[in-house]
Structure 1
Amino acid sequence: MKFLGALDDVSLGRTQRCNRRLTDPNRLQAIRDTGLMDTPREEAFDRLAHLAAELLHVPLTIISLVDANKQFFKADFGLPSPFSETRELPIDASLCRYTLEGESIISSNALADPFLKFHPSTGPWGIVAIIVLPLINPEGHVLGTFCCIEPKVREWTAQELKVMRELTASIMTEINLRNQITKLKTEQNLRDTFVAALTHDLRTPLTASKLSLQLLGRRHPDMPSVQTSVARVNQSLDRAERMIQNLLDASQIQAGKHVALKLSECDLHAITVQTLEELTAVYTDRFVLKAEGTFQLMADPIGLRRIVENLASNAAKYGAPGTPIEVVLGRSGAQVTLQVKNQGNPILGEDLKNIFEPFHRSRSATESAEKGWGLGLPLVRGFAEAHGGRASVTSSAEEGTCFTITLPLDARARAQTRLELLTSDRVAPASDVSVSTRE
């Protein structure tokens, strides 16, 4: 752009350096990444522009983005027409472009400043006293500026400069937080896509293997050794399928979503008995079930089974070998409780606080011979909360470790609330909860 006079060497060097920055592709990409260019006004930025005008008692403040072609006014206080309507300025008329090296423009009298007095916008904009601070992202790219303008000579105080710098930092905090949220959403979508593709690709060969296994069993019905092998391999395939489902559900939970439920009338006592009987074949006869009363629920029977299975198998794997594992069912009012208690080394410190977090394994679990992904307990909590219940744990050397699951007798109220939220917020399709009754 053409200045209205000859610049000194310092000012000329500044313009040349900033002009090179103007078209820097990395800087321009950083501006695009904010998603703010050419967007409507927003209260978060307008509030800061208004606050600066009020605190410094100036008639004009502007928050701008500066790309290769224009200066875009994202927020302002007192911007005159026609700029308040167009909200942009051609780049050749921009003064803010000369902060792209990260240097501020601060003057008490632009008309006497060796650089500002020759800028063509100084007179038409009524710029006399001015503060222009660059908006610099964590990578060092100048995205734009925050400025205040006074149409008369004014000596800026140290406190006023501090206020502007603090408000500039607040603007960048808002922008950086938005960028982080956008990146997290992108990463979450990639993770969800990866997990969905992985589970689909893993299930396909498992399904083919199970079909071939069934065919082998039908061809040799009178050969006990074949039937034994078929049963053993089938159990392993079932376990692999459960692991895949655990991975999928854990990914949902980590993304802040609820696991899918299919509600029906079911008996928690019967589900617990059946699950413990199956686990006894693996972990021997260590489970002691204590239950009084009836435990008819409107719940997801598969979810209940997975709660019992994960808690009981964890107690068997990580509790003191050979000691009994108590499974206690209780009922109080409109709630039931499931407790799984085992003896052994306690869970302490940070492990106790993070025990239900996805992919977290306690120190004792990591040091044991048992391998795992740290998915079981997050799924337990996920299924409990999806029903409208909760999961908790206590652990000490004297009392052992006790996981407690509290569930409502009827999860339909919770499911209905979730459906309403999902429908209103469009977070996910409402089909992740279904209810069936057998009356």
Structure 2
Amino acid sequence: MKFLGELDEVSLARTQRCNRRLTDPNRLQAIRDTGLMDTPQEEAFDRLARLAAQLLDVPLTIMSLVDADRQFFKADFGLPSPFRETRQLPIDASLCRYTLEGEPIISSNAPADPFLKFHPSTGPWGIVALIVLPLINPEGHVLGTFCCIQPSVREWTERDHTVMRELTASIMTELNLRDQIRKLKVEQNLRDTFVAALTHDLRTPLAAAKVSVQLLGRRHGELPGVQTSVARVNGSLDRAERMIQNLLDASRIKAGKYVALDLGECDLHALTTQALDELSAVYPGRFSLKAEGAFKMKADPLGLRRIVENLASNAAKYGAPGTPIEVLLEQRGQHMVLQVRNQGAPIAADELQTIFEPFHRARSAAESAAKGWGLGLPLVRGIAEAHGGKASVTSSADEGTCFTVTLPVDATGQQRLTA
């Protein structure tokens, strides 16, 4: 744009630096990512504009976004016509574009300022005293400005500067929170897409592999070692299928949905015994089951097994080596209670609140030799809640770590409620 006079070297250098920033593609993308260009006014930002006007006793405050072509007024107090209606200004008429290097524009008397006095917008806008602070995102890109304008000479006080800095910081806090929410949504969509593609693409070859292995077992089962190899491969394929299902369920839990259940009559005592017997092949002599009775339930048998397997295997992996792991079953009225207790280093108090979150691993687990994805405990809670139950944990150096799962005897009521 053409200034109404010749700028000194310092002012000219500033305009040249800011002009280069004007079309920076990364800066422009950051503005697009806010999703605020050409959107209606919002109370979240208008409130800060009003507050600035009241605290500083000025007639005009504006929050703007500055892209390559125009200055868009997102929020204001006292914006005059026709700008109140158009809510934008051509970039050539913008003064705020000269904050794109991150430097504020502050003046008590613009007509006497060596830079501002030649800018063509100062006269028509009645700009005399002004504070223009850049809105800088965490990556260092200037998105726009927050400014206050006084149509008369005014010596700004330290309090005035502090008020504007704090309100500008509040605007950026709002913008940064929105950006984090946007990124989380993008991450969730990517994860959901990835999980869907993974499960779709892997299940077909896994099914084909299982059929082929079973066929080999039937045709050549009499050969030495064949049945052992077939069993080993089948077991590995079953584990891969369970991992796929875990990813699917973890994705559902992360999205706030219930894990799908297949309800039927089952015996929690028998299911727990079977699961612990199989785990004892890997962790011999570790499990002690205390239970009396049949523990008949209307629940998802596979889901119950997954709860027991995850809690028991976690206790074996992360508890003190060689110490017993107590598994207790108890019926309390119309609820079944499963507890798995192990000894060893306690879970840190600050992690007890997040330990059931998907893809979260406690520091002790992450630092251990045992590998994992942080899916086991979220699945335990997800399956429990899908039944209408709950999962909790306590942990201390004296009492050890105890995971408790409480389930209704009949989960059909919960299924009707959430169908």
If the length of structure 1 is used for normalisation, what is the TM-score?
0.83
Q: Tell whether the 8 Å contact from 1:298 to 1:409 is kept in structure 2 after alignment.
A: yes
Report the 3-state secondary structure (helix = DSSP H, G, I; strand = E; otherwise coil) of the residue aligned with 2:41.
coil
- Asked if the contact 2:347–2:364 (Cα under 8 Å) also holds between the matched residues in 1, the reply is no
Post-superposition shift, 1:67? 1.3
- 1:266 matched to 2:241? The reply is no
Residue in 1 aligned with 2:131?
131
Counterpart in the other structure of 1:424: none
Determine the structure 2 residue equivalent to 1:431. none
Per the alignment, residue 250 of structure 2 pairs with: 250
Q: In the aligned structure 2, how far is the partner of 1:20 from the partner of 1:362?
A: 46
Q: Cα offset for 1:149?
A: 1.5
Asked if residue 199 in structure 1 is aligned to residue 190 in structure 2, the reply is no
Provide the rounded CA distance (Å) in 2 between the counterparts of 1:385 and 1:91.
Answer: 55
Residue 42 of structure 2 corresponds to residue 42 of structure 1: yes
**Deviation for aligned residue 1:347:** 2.9
In structure 2, give the amino acid aligned to 1:345: G
Structure 1: how far apart are the matches of 2:363 and 2:158? 53
Match of 2:308 in 1: 308
Aligned to 1:422: none
- Structure-2 separation of matches of 1:238 and 1:66: 56
**More off after superposition, 217-226 vs 375-384:** 217-226
- Note the alpha carbon deviations across 1:324-357, whole angstroms, 9 max, x for none: 5432222324432101234x43434369636445
* Native 8 Å contact 2:347 2:362 kept in 1: no
Unaligned runs of 5+ in 1: 420-433, 435-439
State the Cα RMSD in Å.
3.0
TM-score by structure 2 length?
A: 0.87
The 5-angstrom pairing of residues 325-404 of structure 1 reads 325-342=325-342, 344-349=343-348, 353=352, 355-357=355-357, 358-360=359-361, 363=364, 367=368, 371-396=371-396, 399-404=399-404
* Residues 142 and 280 of structure 1, relative CA distance in 2, 3 Å threshold: closer
Distance verdict in 2 for CA 1:83–1:300, change over 3 Å: farther
The one-letter amino acid of 1:300's match is D
The separation in 2 between residues aligned to 1:371 and 1:5, in whole angstroms, is 69
Indicate the residue corresponding to 1:16 in structure 2: 16
The range that moved more, 324-333 or 60-69, is 324-333
Verify the 8 A CA contact 2:270 2:294 in the aligned structure 1. Answer: no
Distance in 2 between residues matched to 1:298 and 1:261, nearest whole Å: 15
Inter-CA distance 78–371: structure 2 relative to 1 (3 Å threshold):
closer
Q: CA deviation at 1:364?
A: 6.9
CA distance 1:300–1:121, change in 2 (3 Å):
same
**2: CA distance, partners of 1:365 / 1:66:** 45
Partner of 2:30: 30
The alpha carbon displacement at 1:158 in A equals 1.4
Residue number in structure 2 paired with 1:80:
80
Alpha-carbon spacing, 1:214–1:55, altered in 2? closer, same or farther (3 Å): same
Q: Quote the offset at 1:75 in angstroms.
A: 0.7
Name the CA shift for 1:351/1:317 in 2 (closer, same or farther; >3 Å). Answer: farther
Checking the alignment, whether the CA contact within 8 Å between 2:62 and 2:77 is kept in structure 1 is yes
- Does the 8 A contact of 1:355 with 1:362 survive in 2? no
Alignment of 1:37-76 (within 5 A): 37-76=37-76
Distance 2:159 2:282 in 1: 72
Partner amino acid, structure 2, of 1:94: S
Q: Do 1:265 and 1:296's aligned partners in 2 also have CA atoms closer than 8 Å?
A: no
Counterpart CA distance in 1 for 2:20 and 2:283 is 71
SS of the residue aligned with 2:123? coil
Supply the distance in 2 between the matched residues of 1:405 and 1:131 (Cα, whole angstroms): 59
Residues 1:238 and 2:238 are matched in the alignment: yes
Shift of 1:322: 6.4
- Aligned partner of 1:29: which letter? Q
CA contact (8 A) 2:62 2:76 kept: yes
Check the 8 A contact 1:61/1:147 in 2, yes or no. yes
The residue aligned with 1:289 is 289
Count of residues paired in the alignment:
416
Q: Give the match's secondary structure for 1:131.
A: strand
> Is the CA contact 2:261–2:386 (under 8 Å) kept in the aligned structure 1?
no
- Residue in 1 aligned with 2:178? 178
- Mapped to 1, the partners of 2:321 and 2:160 lie a distance apart of 69
Mapped partners of 2:109, 2:170: distance in 1: 27
Could you say what secondary structure the match of 2:187 adopts?
Answer: helix
3-state secondary structure, aligned to 2:101? coil
**In 1: Cα distance, 2:270 partner to 2:278 partner:** 13
Does the 8 Å contact 1:261/1:303 carry over to 2? no
- CA-to-aligned-CA distance 1:299-341 (integer Å, 9 cap, x gap): 3332211001212233345556666543222232443210123
Letter in 1 for 2:237: L
Partner of 2:163: 163
Contact 1:336 1:408 survives alignment (8 Å):
yes
TM-aligned CA distance change 1:13 to 1:227, over 3 Å: closer
d(CA) in 2 for partners of 1:131 and 1:291?
A: 74
**SS of 1:123 mapped into structure 2:** helix
1:430 is matched with which residue? Answer: none
The change in CA–CA distance for 1:125 and 1:414 in structure 2 (over 3 A counts) is farther
